[in-house]
Structure formats: C-alpha cells, structure tokens
A and B are shown apart, each in its own frame.
Chain A
Amino acid sequence: MTERLLRRFYFFLVGLFLAAPLIVVAGVSVNEKQDLAFPPKGFSLDWYAEIFVNPEWRKALVASILLALSAAAIAVAIALPLAWFLWRRIAPWANIFQLLGVAPFILPPVITALGFLTFWANAGFYGQPWTAAISHAIFFVTLPLVTLSLGFASIDRSLVEAASTMGADDRTVLKTVVLPLILPYLVSGYAFAFVLSLNEYIVAYMTVGFTMETLPIKIFNALRYGYTPTMASVSVFFVAIAALVFGLIARFGDIRRLLGAMSSDSN
C-alpha cells in the first residue's frame, strides 16, 4: 500500500517537473495585456490569434511548416532506399551509410550546424531557403532510418518468399507486399522528422538565420529584444502539435515498439 503511494508520488513529481514550465507558459499566454504575469491577469486568446494574424509571426509559421514538410520528405527519401537495401542485401560495407545517417543525431548539434555553415558558405549558396531543408533532412535522417529499419525487421520474410515463388518480381513484391507493411513505420518516421524539424533552432539559424525566420528563430530573436506573449502562445501551440502527432502515432501504431520494446512479449 505504502509502496503504491510512494510510486504514485514519484510519478507525480516527475510529471510535475516536466509539466511545470509548460503550465506557467500556458498561463502567461492568456494574459489580457502584454504582461509577463502568472497567474494571468484577465483572460484572452488574442495572443493565439496573433500567430496567424500578425504578418511577421505568420510568415515565420509558414516558413517553419514548409521547411519541416520538405525536410521530412527528403529525409524519408534518403532513408527508405537505404533501409530497404540493408534489409534486402548482404553488403556489410553498406552499413557505413547507416552509421553516417545516425552520426549527425548523436554528435552535439552545433557541430553539424557549423559543418553546414562552412559548407554552404564555400559552395556559395549561404542563406538560400532550400539549403535549410537539405540540412535538416540530413540532420534528422536518423529518425526515418531507425523507424524504417524496425519496420523492415518486423516483416515476415516467408510472406515475401511466398510472393516471389508465385512469380512476382522484386518490383512487384516491393509495391504489393513490402511497402504496405512498412507504411506505418514510414509515416512515423516522417512525423518524427517533421516535429523535430519544426522545433530545430541551431542548424536553421546557422544556415538561413540571416535571410529567413523560422518560428524558433523568431522566438529567440523576440526573446533578445524583450517579451511578447506571442512567444508563450507559440510555445503552447508547438507543444500541442507535438502531443497531437505523437498521440496519433500511438493511436494508430505501436509507439512502445518504435521506442525499443519488443512487439508482443511483455504485458
């Protein structure tokens, strides 16, 4: 009994620690005037409207969403053939590309960011919006790569075997058997990359920081010049997007498996 209480209390403390700053930000975001006050003085959702109405914030929002959509698409386009090849073929040396795909994610982000800054500056494309999309795609290629590798590993090879003994060639097998089976993993990989790209600051800042403002860059710039409640409403908006996307993945897929629990052994 006491054990259960203790456990509940521990969960409560961790939950409170994780939620506390977000609760305060949510409170601050509904202030009626431009105050940094908690508990909020008055109630207003104007600062949420501001994200869409104010041309500067709207521009940053559109830039961020376009960047995240295209970066995640490029990341999946790189990860899918690579994961398929590694699953289909025995070619140990090809694992080097898997390592290259995971490296930017493990190394401190500032390193990747600086690598891109020097690269784009040397190549003469520094500041072009598309350079940020490619940079983010490489930076986050790990996510679809990991989810797709898990997806391929979960495919029952005898299914594929059956299709090919019935006379289907590689292309048909890929289209009719393999792709439908890994579609959930592909979607999750895309979604992970999308959410992280939306939130990413340093790579975006070092590639296009002086020519284009994404939402995280805009929040940081606003933070340097003082406080506006729109920063708070945008933050809440971002938490909501992340929770929605991951909630959908959990609803339609198996998030425990994606995070490393085995499919059907425990619980």
Chain B
Amino acid sequence: MRREPPRSLADYTPLVFPALMLTVFFVIPFSTMIMVSFFRRDPAGFFKPDFVVDNYARFLSLFFGNVLGFSLMLAIIVALCCVAIAFPFTYLLTKQSRKVQTVWLVCLLSVLSLSEVIIGFAWSTLFSRTAGITNLFVWLGLMTEPQALLPGFGAVLTGMVYQALPYTILVLYPALVRLDPTLLEAARTLGASPIRAFLNVVVPALRNTIVATLIMVFVFALGSYLLPQILGRPQHWTLSVLITDQAIYQSNIPFAAAMAVFLVLMSLALVGLTLLVGRRENAG
C-alpha cells in the first residue's frame, strides 16, 4: 500500500488517541510546570497561583552558580570519560561475530535499564568499608586495612560513568556498525597498522558522530538525580538533585519548576546542536 495523504477526516482516526494522550499528559504537564515556575510557594500545600519572577531571580545567587558550574563540569567529565572508553570498545565490538555482539548488547541493555537506586546502592556497597573493594586490596597486600571510598567526588564520577557507559556504547553502535568497511581496508592495504588505521581513518571519519555523542551523553549525565546524592557530599549535588530536593524535601515546587525550566532550555539547546551536527554529517 502506497503512502498517501489523508483524504477524509476518517483517515485521521488512528491519530486521535495518541495525539490526545500526548497533548493532555505531556504538553499540558509541561506547560503547567512553566506556569508553576511563576507561582509562589504555599507552606500549607503545594503552591499558590501568582505571577512572580522571584524563583528565577534566585538563579543569581552564588550558591546556584556553584551548583550549576559543578553540574556542567561533572557532566562534561562524564561525557569525555564515557566516549573515550566507549568509542574504541564499540568499534572493536562491531568487528566481532553476530553472536558475540548479541550477548554484549543484551548485557549492556540489562545494565542500562537498571534503576539509578540500584546503581547507587551497588556502588555504595562496592566502595564501603565492610564489603568493598578495599578488602580485596588488603588481601592482595596493597593496603593495610580496608577503608570507605565514599562519599567523594571519585565515587560520584565512577557511578555516573557506570550509568552512562552502556548508553554511550548504544548511541555509538549504529554509526560504527554501518561504517563503510572499505575505508579501513584501503588504509590497511596502504600499509597502516590497525591502530593507526583506527586513529587516522575511523576517528576522523566519525568526527561529527563523536561530537554528537559527547553532547548526548552530556545531557544524559545532567539528568542523573540520585547518584550524586548517594555517593557524594552535599557539595557534589547537581542541578537535577537540587530540583528533586527542592520539590520533595523543601516543598518549594515553584523554585524547583523554575530550575527545571532552565534545565530544559539548556538541554534543548544542546539537543538542537546535536541535530545540527548530525545534519552536517549526512550532508557532507
């Protein structure tokens, strides 16, 4: 059956339910959130309708500036670590047999789908004094006694790289699996070693994919809301953690909403940038 434009109103029927659901339960909640970001906090309930910009004015504080700066820095480091580990890995993975690829993909998906609560709990156990990795080091004679490796920046970073790594690999996978194999063959025939061919042919050919992936992982890392809280100290809190904290524990939903609007704008700008980079890749 050819694709054809809808001719009558009846042809639109399949669209009714999805359009209704997505509008009522995504567009409206989203708009509600923007609206609430101008409301005033109500200590007795959730919020009171109003029109104030106080919630946005609070962005100008040093505290908020610090949290924002830390969130951005952390997300950038996570993105760089993940792409640095995942790019060679995914490249090597696509050279494996179908079966090996399938097994790895199943494992990666299983880790990716894990709840942030479980990832946080698992790493806090691994970094703990009583059941942690330092016991292994003691046993090997590398340390004299076990110690806790958390809370700390290292623990937060490790947890977040763990969370984002499967995502990074799965984002890179389609581009690398479809990479024209003749490119590499040509390089090899001309006498390049595999590592040289990888660095001088594969990496430059996928430069835009790498940039787009960095941005995707950056946005993904910005969304981490529990790991900095479980594995870090209060100074390691990110914007997402702060939003959750304000919304639930401080019951200041209007301020949380204002920060969420800010986070949306930032993420959208970055996703837009990714699409732009992707378009250039397809054009070039």
Q: Within the assembled complex, what's the spacing in Å between the Cα atoms of A18 and B247? A: 32
Q: Is B283 in contact with chain A by the CB < 8 A criterion?
A: no
Interface of A is mostly: helix
Contact B92 A11, beta carbon cutoff 8 Å: yes
Residues of B within 8 A of A28 (CB): 125, 131
Q: Within the assembled complex, what's the spacing in Å between the Cα atoms of A261 and B111? A: 20
Q: Within the assembled complex, what's the spacing in Å between the Cα atoms of A117 and B178? A: 41
Q: Which A32-88 residues have a C-beta within 8 angstroms of B?
A: 35-38, 74, 77-79, 81-82, 84-85, 87-88
Q: Is A184 in contact with chain B by the CB < 8 A criterion?
A: no
Q: Which B29-57 residues have a C-beta within 8 angstroms of A?
A: 29-30, 32-33, 35-36, 46-47
Partner of B130, one of A21, A37, A107, A111: A37
Residues of A within 8 A of B15 (CB): 81-82, 85, 94, 97
Given A21-B119, A160-B1, A259-B170, are A266 and B131 neighbors across the interface (CB < 8 Å)? no
Q: Which B113-149 residues have a C-beta within 8 angstroms of A?
A: 113-126, 128, 130-133, 135
Q: Is B253 in contact with chain A by the CB < 8 A criterion?
A: yes
**One of B58-66, B182-190, B199-207, B221-229 contacting the partner:** B221-229
Q: Within the assembled complex, what's the spacing in Å between the Cα atoms of A160 and B3? A: 11
* 0/1 string, A163-199, CB within 8 A of B gives 1: 1100000100100000000000000000000011001
Contact B3 A89, beta carbon cutoff 8 Å: yes
Contact B118 A246, beta carbon cutoff 8 Å: no
Q: Is A154 in contact with chain B by the CB < 8 A criterion?
A: no
Residues of B within 8 A of A147 (CB): none
Residues of A within 8 A of B117 (CB): 201, 216-217, 219-220, 223
Partner of A38, one of B2, B135, B173, B230: B135
Residues of B within 8 A of A200 (CB): 115
Q: Within the assembled complex, what's the spacing in Å between the Cα atoms of A37 and B62? A: 42
Q: Is B260 in contact with chain A by the CB < 8 A criterion?
A: yes
Q: Within the assembled complex, what's the spacing in Å between the Cα atoms of A36 and B128? A: 9
Contact A25 B125, beta carbon cutoff 8 Å: yes
Partner of B177, one of A97, A255, A266: A266
Residues of B within 8 A of A223 (CB): 117, 120-121, 124, 230
Contact A161 B1, beta carbon cutoff 8 Å: yes
Q: Is A129 in contact with chain B by the CB < 8 A criterion?
A: no
CB distance from A207 to the nearest CB of B (A): 10
Contact A250 B25, beta carbon cutoff 8 Å: no
Q: Is B73 in contact with chain A by the CB < 8 A criterion?
A: no
Q: Within the assembled complex, what's the spacing in Å between the Cα atoms of A74 and B18? A: 10
Which residue on B lies nearest to A204, using beta carbons? B115
Contact B32 A115, beta carbon cutoff 8 Å: yes
Residues of A within 8 A of B114 (CB): 199, 238-239, 242
Partner of B105, one of A107, A117, A256: A256
Given A216-B117, A256-B98, A266-B177, are A114 and B256 neighbors across the interface (CB < 8 Å)? yes
Which residue on B lies nearest to A121, using beta carbons? B46
CB distance from A51 to the nearest CB of B (A): 14
A–B pairs, 7, beta carbons within 8 Å:
A17-B162, A21-B123, A110-B223, A118-B35, A235-B118, A238-B114, A239-B110
